[in-house]
Amino acid sequence: MYQKMGLVKPFAKDNPNVGRKAMTGNDFDKFVFKVPTLRNVELTYPYFHDGSVWDLEEAVSMMADLQLGQKLTKEESGKITEFLRSLTGDQPEVTLPHLPPSTNETARPNI
């Protein structure tokens, strides 16, 4: 799914990334970006297509302004952020194997 960044309030930044327009050449696609899933959103910072926002609550407030033309109170943005954090699942534990250092005697793959 793709969505225009700045539905209500124009999105303007000093950033050369114009979204899908770069691929399609269509002015209608200017500032249209792929919308990521909200699952684990608190772990996927920085936010937005250009990585310009590092705080989830700031991203929520910014999107309310750009997409809805609404200024959220601290309490409102906090509640939305709390909900978004509730979408974070258990993360798998990744354990890297402890390997001995490679030497000239280390077996090589047979390719």
Report pLDDT for 107: 84
For the chain, how many structural domains are there in total?
A: 1
- Is residue 10 in some structural domain? yes
pLDDT digits (tens, 9 = 90+) for 10-53: 877 776 888 898 899 999 898 898 888 999 999 999 998 888 89
**What are the two backbone dihedrals, phi and then psi, of residue 27, each rounded to the nearest 5 degrees?**
-60, -30
Domain that holds residue 54: 2-85
In a domain, 103, yes or no: no
pLDDT digits (tens, 9 = 90+) for 53-97: 999 999 999 999 999 999 999 999 999 999 999 999 999 999 999
Alpha helices in 49-108 (DSSP H): 56-63, 74-85
What are the start-end ranges of the E strands in the chain? Answer: 2-4, 32-34
* pLDDT at residue 110 in the model: 84
φ, ψ at 4 (rounded to 5°):
-75, 130
Per-residue pLDDT at 60: 98
Q: Provide the 3-class DSSP secondary structure of residue 81.
A: helix
Is 43 within the bounds of a domain?
A: yes
Supply the CATH number for residue 66's domain: 1.10.760.10
Structural domain contains residue 15: yes
pLDDT score, position 50: 84
Residue 19 belongs to some domain of the structure: yes
